[in-house]
């Protein structure tokens, strides 16, 4: 069902009657909601789930990139933060929410 056919249904049901049941309008709003769901809400939920899984899977030795652009190696994982090293002898505590990515080491 295309948008043109939906609009044709809405126009034909209310034309000249002065009232009508509004079933065409319900179909149109329902289809708009479905389009909105599949184009915006569903992909956003998938992205949130992937990020949550990435943060939960952090372990010692992982290399991460923070929101501030720091590259660090995870040394310890705590409830709401990660202890990481950014250089030899330099340890920092990073909030889990500010970790943007886990870097996968390339073998070869």
- The class (CATH top level) of 59-103 is mainly beta
pLDDT of residue 37: 86
- Is residue 64 within 8 A of residue 58, CB to CB? The reply is yes
Give pLDDT tens digits for 65-104: 999 999 999 999 999 999 999 999 999 999 999 999 999 8
Predicted confidence (pLDDT) at residue 8 exceeds the cutoff of 80: no
Give pLDDT tens digits for 44-61: 999 999 999 999 999 999
Predicted confidence (pLDDT) at residue 9 exceeds the cutoff of 70: no
Give the Cα separation of 30 and 28 in Å (integer): 5
Average pLDDT over residues 26-35: 90
Stated as kind and residue range, the H or E segment containing 102 is: strand 99-103
For the chain, what's the residue count?
108
pLDDT of residue 7: 67
63-66 β-sheet, strand order: 90-95, 81-87, 71-77, 63-66, 99-103
The residue extents of the domains of the chain are 3-54, 59-103
pLDDT of residue 95: 95
């Amino acid at each position: 069902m295309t948008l043109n056919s939906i609009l044709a249904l809405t126009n034909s049901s209310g034309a000249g009657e002065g009232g009508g049941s509004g079933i065409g309008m319900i179909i149109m709003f329902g289809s708009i909601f479905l389009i909105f769901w599949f184009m915006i809400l569903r992909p956003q939920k998938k992205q949130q789930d992937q990020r949550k899984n990435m943060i939960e899977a952090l372990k010692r030795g992982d290399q991460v990139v923070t929101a501030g652009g720091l590259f660090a190696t995870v040394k310890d994982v705590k409830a709401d933060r990660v202890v990481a090293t950014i250089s030899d002898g330099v340890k920092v505590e990073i909030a889990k929410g500010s970790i943007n990515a886990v870097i996968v080491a390339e073998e070869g």
